Structure 1
Amino acid sequence: MGAWLILGALVELGERTRAFRASAAESWRRLTGLPRGAWGMTLAHLGLGVFVLGACFETGWKLEAAETLPVGGRLSLGEYSLVLDDIRGVEGPNYEAERGQLRAFKGERQICAPRPERRFYPAGGQTTSEVAICTRGIDHLYVVLGERREAAGQPVWLVRAYWNPWALLIFVGPGIMALGGVVSLSDRRLRLAAGRKREAVA
């Protein structure tokens, strides 16, 4: 669906400019002469296609893993792995926290060093988790630090990890659509047509 939307938008643009059917100079003249409304429509369809691609890949191919780890423990997540190096106490302005210091690997190569936190707010008695996000191209790796437990007489922490492929496209797509809307609204022809319609109604 996403690829179809993107391809359809590009084909429509090619039809308007007679790409590969007219000379390069003629296609360029048509391209630069397109009204802003046409560019806005093309961008909106491209953005929707990008969003759909990101949503489909993120939903269909994401990976999740959760495990209680001692310091030095390793969590496997497909071709990725995380090592819990340390847990440190952190004092915030209105909270106390445990901050995990981890290293994330793809194969044998370290790709990032996530620092998730588990925070406690004494005033409200609330506990929250601050997610650490590693961005690798258009993919996201999320790491969450859970509660502390005891196992075999030593402290362990619940660590959750999520690998979301193409997740960045979910945010890029709406941005492209919004840009298309702005470009369309800047088309003077559309503003004049809207004004004439209001005058006719009045």
Structure 2
Amino acid sequence: MAQQLDRLKETPSQTAGPYVHIGLTPNICEIHGIYEEDLGTRMVNDKTRGERITVKMRIFDGTGAVIRDALIEIWQADADGLHNSPSEPRGKADPNFTGWGRQASDAETGVFTFETIKPGRVPFLDDRPQAPHISLWIVARGINLGLQTRMYFGDEEKANAEDPVLSRLEHQHRGPTLIAQREGDTYTFDIHLQGEKETVFFDV
């Protein structure tokens, strides 16, 4: 005999939010007591090697409006180009650098802010050095599958010109959508989901 389930209510239909924030950044949602601070909030400490930088990002929808309820995770190498991973074959990464961060966008401005270090160069599959870069994973309401992209550094022109991933882009005129601009110690990177300035996303 089937059990009566009329006491259970269907949850709201969503793609990524708001549950992605509740599960991944509970403190942002004012759900306290799970983590002292949300995982991925802090990437560096006072012993981390390398050049300290701030990365500020925004995500825009197809109409040019800033998205204020998105979440980004970033992965990157340390200052020596090593990843904080047990599968890193080239040596031990800086133990004082996580190599991974997670932030929700500011609910008012839509800005993500990461305090990190400038990464070193990592070899490609054929051992050619890649330009310094940060890998991004993006989720938000309306995005069924997380989007993957990269952020390169505007003051690394020579390395960017040699980068084996940037050189493989089918439409080279879209390469600048992956380049962050520097002012002082801060890099600014805008991500466009659609439209004329649409960011290059990767199928990985």
TM normalised by structure 1 equals: 0.27
Which is strand-richer, 1 or 2? 1
Query: Higher helix fraction: Structure 1 or Structure 2?
Result: 1
Structure with the greater alpha carbon radius of gyration: 1
